[in-house]
Structure 1
């Protein structure tokens, strides 16, 4: 746990939140809307999102290479 709690909003990108989590070594970041807690992002959520993007990019590249 940390006394220096860093929060994000629903408008923040996954990349931005992931960067903060990596730099500050946080595993969880509270999500606030109008000062109220609406969720928590975990490092697992960030990794899952990044993997999904990489898989989509790979599929698009394969389709381009195979002409489809």
Structure 2
């Protein structure tokens, strides 16, 4: 079980994309599409003011037949944002996301957003950890005297 800090270091990109509350929903969705992300931090002077997601767009713009070009992000963003710190574990993130039915968790330290964890990221990480465990168990069962590391590297283990 990795800490959020370890998990963020392993991500391909640590960039956290953001927008402003006054931006149009259309512009926010365009950023999400261009950056291939499902959520944006809504920042105010570098601090977390809220979060806007594709789900917010679908439920608060599309289903309500509103104009995304004429609606500011502040009208659809979530302002009570659940978040975690770098010391939390990925298991704690998964539990929090499941309990509150959310897909994105900002990672905050000293009042600054330093990362974003998505449910997709966590599932991908969980699968990788399980594959690693399975490989280790297979090697143990077959009596191999080496250990397969998380990155696929092999190291000799002393036989007991």
TM-score (norm 1): 0.92
Aligned match of 2:14: none
Pairing of 1:1-68 with structure 2 (within 5 A): 1=56, 2-68=78-144
Q: Supply the distance in 2 between the matched residues of 1:4 and 1:34 (Cα, whole angstroms).
A: 18
Unaligned runs of 5+ in 1: none
- Residues matched between the structures, number: 68
Q: Supply the distance in 2 between the matched residues of 1:4 and 1:21 (Cα, whole angstroms).
A: 14
**Which has more helix, going by share of residues?**
1
TM-score (norm 2): 0.41
Cα shift at 1:35: 0.9
Unaligned runs of 5+ in 2: 1-55, 57-77, 145-160
RMSD between aligned residues? 1.1
Cα shift at 1:61: 0.7
| Runs (4+) off by over 2 Å | 1-4
Greater Cα radius of gyration, structure 1 or 2: 2
